[in-house]
């Protein structure tokens, strides 16, 4: 199976990116319905999600770069 799903303006969109994005979107949709039943403020949790997702992606990339750098020695 080809790891590239399709190209947009010369950028390759890979399958793992589609799956990760779909998982995040489904989690936010599930969060919206779950907050109604548990009587939790959806906007507060959405703020936490929107702050933590970019931090998690950047942190994962820094982790990968750091360990690939140390593996070259």
**What is the per-residue pLDDT across 3-47, written as a single tens digit (0 to 9) for each?**
999 999 999 999 999 999 999 999 999 999 999 999 999 999 999
Question: Range of 29's domain?
Answer: 4-71
What's the confidence (pLDDT) of residue 69? 85
Structural domains of the chain, count: 1
Question: For residue 72, is pLDDT > 80?
Answer: no
**In sequence order, what DSSP letters do the residues of the chain get, joined into one string?**
--SEEEEETTEEEEHHHHHHHHHHHHHHHHHHHHHHHHT--HHHHHHHHHHHHHHHHHHHHHHHHHHHHHHT-
């Amino acid at each position: 199976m080809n790891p590239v799903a399709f190209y947009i303006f010369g950028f390759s969109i890979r399958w793992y990116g589609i799956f990760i994005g779909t998982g995040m979107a489904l989690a936010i949709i599930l969060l919206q319905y779950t907050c109604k039943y548990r009587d939790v403020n959806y906007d507060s949790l959405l703020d936490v999600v929107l702050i933590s997702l970019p931090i998690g992606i950047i942190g994962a990339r820094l982790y990968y770069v750091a360990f690939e750098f140390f593996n070259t020695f």
